[in-house]
Structure 1
Amino acid sequence: MFPWLDHSGRFSTFKLMVFVAILIPGCVVLWPVLFHEGVSLPIKDAIHGTGDWAIRMLLISLAITPLRRVTKFTRVVLVRRMVGLAAMGYALCHLLLYFIDQSFDVSRIATEILVRIYLTIGFVAVMGLVVLGVTSTNGMMRRLGRNWGRLHKASYGIAVLGILHFFMQSKLDVTEATLMAGFYLWLMLSRFASKMNWKMKSPVTLLGLAVAAALGTAAIEYAWFAIATGVPPLVVLQANLQWMYPLRPAWDVLIIGLLITAFPLVKQLWGKIGPQSANMRVGRARAASRQT
């Protein structure tokens, strides 16, 4: 019942910290709506903000398993359900704020959702998150059995719908939508690597994922501008191949991928030179001296 308790009912500092971290973006986004702190269009800004965080939370929840394989930090699995429910919560706030912006005119809202394809896609994504949220309890896991895992694999498709909705409502400035697509691509590539039984802690595997995801991100942005806008896509592609500030999404994805690649190497190096390793070496030296 309480998000700061682990499965055995004991207090978990880690879960409490994650719970607070999940709430902070919502407080920041909704504060202007409640108090109108000099924001000209607080509802519009909050609609976009909650939608952005819904996608971010969904991607974070999907990233927990591959990051656990890379970092061996098993406790992170404890917050996967919490983060997934946060994605649903932000998505519902996103939808509720849209209703408020439309003055709860249900007929108008229904017409807009049916007529505007990007709203249709977004609405389907929100309903999908609600279904996953309702069936995320231990009781539903027992009732659905093996079907529970099949159902919750729909989260990957829901993420695609959410990112597509992000692209369509962003119009020309698709920088963050492209970034989300790049992170999603890394997640899918890591899933493929796991199915192929590639070692997720191998620097070669992680480096390959980083480069492939970065190139795929550049390709996604190129394709979007080529298909959906009047902006010359070659200009966008050239920008992706240049080191410039602010960085293009492909470079951001590459940098994050390289940091993930470096983590096992740093952890291995720290294991050799860290304090615990030094103490072990001292202990072995003392034991050897006593034997002699």
Structure 2
Amino acid sequence: MSAAARAPRKELPAWVLWRDRGGKLSPLRIAILAILFAPALWLLWDAIQLNLGPEPLNAAMHETGRWSIRFLIASLAVTPFGRILAWPRLYQIRRMVGLGALAWVLLHLVLYLADQNWIVTTAIVEIVKRFYLTIGFVAIAGLAVLGWTSTDGWMRRLGRRWKRLHRLIFPILVLAMLHAFIQAKSDVSQEVFLTGLLLWLLLWRLVPERWQAHFGALAALTAVSFLATVGIEYLWYALGTNLPAARVAMANFDLTFGPRPAVQPSIVAGCFLLLTLLRRLAGRLRAA
């Protein structure tokens, strides 16, 4: 064996996001980077075009918060997507998507400080005084810790404890969703949709590993997550608003005016079911 082959592989700097672990240019990672940056360009264009309403800073703050949750949920979707497609290389982007979500949530915090005229003491008082801001800040702090310890060096340093630490992403996301629900008040369409996706991803992790890519198990999981999402939507409207919660819940079973937010995650989950069928069909064709 040559000296070059025996030499340990030099790790790439953390900021070289467009190359894989072997140092090669990665089209997949470049595409993910573009997706992570695209909403910022969209938001900037809306700001230039004065499409953010009478309070553009406040609107931008809420939108960055939503994108942080979207990308966090996307980071959780990498594992089931990679397993269903039998595409282990997809796992390499999980950290990148998670760090992208952290960047968005930090931008959300910066815009909140800007909305408070950069008076840090005022922002702190508001965070302590208002429950939804308190849990939102706890979620940001927890996500910052996970981002800081996401490097290979921290993985080696913490050993088995690293995985236990990073399982905190699940309660962090629950806090973030509760923060979003309280902030949204009566119109929680986006929040219900994201909650449905999160429920599916959480329940998928409870399914035994040998069934996680099985069509029947995924179909049952989709039905259970749909009913759970409807139940959460009902409880929110029943406990937090004066709107007729039962009528809102029953509307999810009527597609006359299109799928409601609680139904839409099931449509997304249907894509996983379709991928499972296509994978099974491809396997049979190869065997034939």
TM-score by length of 2: 0.90
1:267 Cα deviation from its structure 2 partner: 2.6
| C-alpha distance in structure 2 between counterparts of 1:250 and 1:21, whole Å | 25
Residue identity in the other structure for 1:4: W
| C-alpha distance in structure 1 between counterparts of 2:262 and 2:64, whole Å | 24
Residue identity in the other structure for 1:209: L
Matching residue of 2:122? 108
1:36 Cα deviation from its structure 2 partner: 5.7
Matching residue of 2:189? 175
Gapped regions of structure 1 (runs ≥ 5)? 282-292
Contact 1:36 1:42 in 2 (8 A): no
Matching residue of 1:199? 211
Contact 1:30 1:46 in 2 (8 A): no
Matching residue of 2:253? 241
Residue number among 117, 131, 136 corresponding to 2:131 in the alignment = 117
Matching residue of 2:6? none
Per-residue CA deviations over 1:188-235 (Å, capped at 9, x if unaligned) read 110000xx3442221100101111111111011001111111112111
1:266 Cα deviation from its structure 2 partner: 1.8
Aligned-partner SS, 1:249: coil
Give RMSD over aligned pairs. Answer: 1.7
**Which shows bigger deviation, 261-270 or 17-26?**
261-270
| C-alpha distance in structure 2 between counterparts of 1:197 and 1:270, whole Å | 21
Correspondence 1:229 to 2:256: no
Aligned-partner SS, 2:205: helix
Matching residue of 1:284? none
Superposition pairs for residues 1-292 of structure 1, below 5 Å?
A: 1=13, 2-33=16-47, 35=48, 37=50, 39=52, 40-193=54-207, 196-272=208-284
1:32 Cα deviation from its structure 2 partner: 4.1
Residue identity in the other structure for 1:221: E
Matching residue of 2:10? none
Per-residue CA deviations over 1:26-73 (Å, capped at 9, x if unaligned) read 22123444x464543221121011000000010111111122111112
| C-alpha distance in structure 2 between counterparts of 1:158 and 1:26, whole Å | 23
**What count of residue pairs does the alignment treat as equivalent?**
273
Residue identity in the other structure for 2:91: V
Contact 1:218 1:249 in 2 (8 A): no
Contact 1:163 1:177 in 2 (8 A): yes
| C-alpha distance in structure 2 between counterparts of 1:38 and 1:127, whole Å | 31
| C-alpha distance in structure 1 between counterparts of 2:42 and 2:70, whole Å | 15
| C-alpha distance in structure 1 between counterparts of 2:262 and 2:274, whole Å | 18
| C-alpha distance in structure 1 between counterparts of 2:51 and 2:239, whole Å | 38
Gapped regions of structure 2 (runs ≥ 5)? 1-12
1:107 Cα deviation from its structure 2 partner: 1.6
